[in-house]
Structure 1
Amino acid sequence: MAPLTILRYPDPGLSKPCQPITVFDAALETFAQDLLATIRAAPGVGITAAHVGVHIRLVVLELSAKDGPRFYANPEILSFGEQVMRYTEGSVSMPGATEEVERPAMIRFRYQRLDGTHAEEDATGFYSVCMQHEIDQLDGVFWLKRLSRLKRDRLVRKWEKGR
């Protein structure tokens, strides 16, 4: 497991939609482990292949050491709950920049495991926020696009000064 180089905002690769994974093999497993090493080194709780410039639909989450890492190939949201929540978000591609984002508090989503088998899950709370955030990234929607223009411009200016 070797940490990979993370793209930094405003790299255009962060706005590029990712392609579905069609081959589930040892190379995918190795790449997923490298993404895990990358998120641990960052540090962070979630990363996509797009964050390292590989535009395939792969997400790695490690929400807690107790729960360990989870790998999601080709995730897609099937439905959203009616309640919303606000949560402070950021990105490994924009270290130190955070802002509150409002998202549905519950989602149902499907994905494939690294062996290609299919699964569906419900996610609530922080888990839901993280999955939505990373699926947005796979779709080429960097998290800043979920902010008002005023908040986004203010945050980008502050972040650029601190770099």
Structure 2
Amino acid sequence: MSVRPIVMFPNQHLRQMAGPVTRFDAALRTLATDLLDTMHAAPGIGITAPHIGVALRVVVLDLRDASGACTYINPEIVWTSDETMRHEEGSVSMPGVNEQIERPARVRVRYQDLDGREQVEDADGLRAICHQHEIDQLNGIFWIQRLSALRRNRLVARYEKIRRAHSRT
């Protein structure tokens, strides 16, 4: 439908808890389509409604694999594995910087589809990482909060340098 402006770090809206979706209607479908279009334009592989300034629990993932783009409404992690993995993460709200984060390697996510039907998905690898990353965002936890203070400060300094250089061009 349309590409919407992305809320950029350090905007405090990225640290607010998103509210539950209660209406499963045409407006929700439009939001999901706009999120997908915005994510592809960014580019990214995951996005939440808070990334575009909408404080609702909506996630869109498109890992460009056989499963295609998927929309998750009111997702919650109901199980995590003890096994962990490290993966490089970043954000459409903080382009140009990435850092390794350690998270559980497998998760089970309960969510609703666009029609409001409850679903459960077991995920591993990159999909598991993306679920955790985006659900953190819905809970007001921006991904860099998972870093040590030292690593976070270095990453923010690197991002600020990129942002200043980009604003001069």
Q: Please give the alpha-carbon distance, in whole angstroms, between the structure 1 residues aligned to 2:38 and 2:66.
A: 19
Question: Alpha-carbon deviation of 1:145?
Answer: 0.3
Equivalent position SS for 1:96: strand
What amino acid maps onto 2:61 in structure 1?
L
Instruction: Percent identity, please.
Output: 53
| 2:37 matches 1:50 | no
1:21 match: secondary structure: coil
* Structure 1: distance between partners of 2:70 and 2:46: 10
Matched pairs, number: 163
Query: CA-to-partner distance for each residue in 1:69-124, whole Å, 9 max, x for gaps?
Result: 10000000001101000000000000011000000000111000010000011110
Give the corresponding residue for 1:73.
73
Unpaired segments of 5 or more residues in structure 2?
A: 164-169
For 2:103 and 2:31, locate their aligned partners in 1 and report how far apart those are by CA, in whole Å: 29
> Could you tell me how far apart the structure 1 residues matched to 2:10 and 2:65 are?
30
- TM-score where L is the length of structure 2: 0.95
Structure 1 equivalent of residue 24 of structure 2:
24
Q: 3-state DSSP class of the match of 1:64? A: coil
TM-score normalised by the chain length of structure 1: 0.98
Q: Which residue of 1 aligns with 2:117?
A: 117
Counterpart Cα distance in 1 of 2:111 and 2:123 = 13
Q: How far is the alpha carbon of 1:162 from its aligned partner?
A: 1.0
Letter of the structure 2 residue corresponding to residue 10 of structure 1: P
TM-aligned CA deviation for residue 67 of structure 1:
3.0
* Mapped partners of 1:66, 1:125: distance in 2: 15
Partner amino acid, structure 2, of 1:89? E
Alignment partners' CA distance in 1, 2:74 and 2:33: 17
Give the corresponding residue for 1:100: 100
Counterparts in 2 of 1:8 and 1:127: CA distance versus 1, 3 Å: same
1:133 aligns with 2:133: yes
Question: Runs of at least 4 residues of structure 1 off by over 4 A?
Answer: none
1:137-152, aligned counterparts within 5 Å? 137-152=137-152
Query: How far apart, in 1, do the equivalents of 2:158 and 2:31 lie?
Result: 33
Give the whole-Å Cα distance in 2 for the aligned partners of 1:4 and 1:109. 27
Query: Shift of the alpha carbon at 1:66?
Result: 4.2
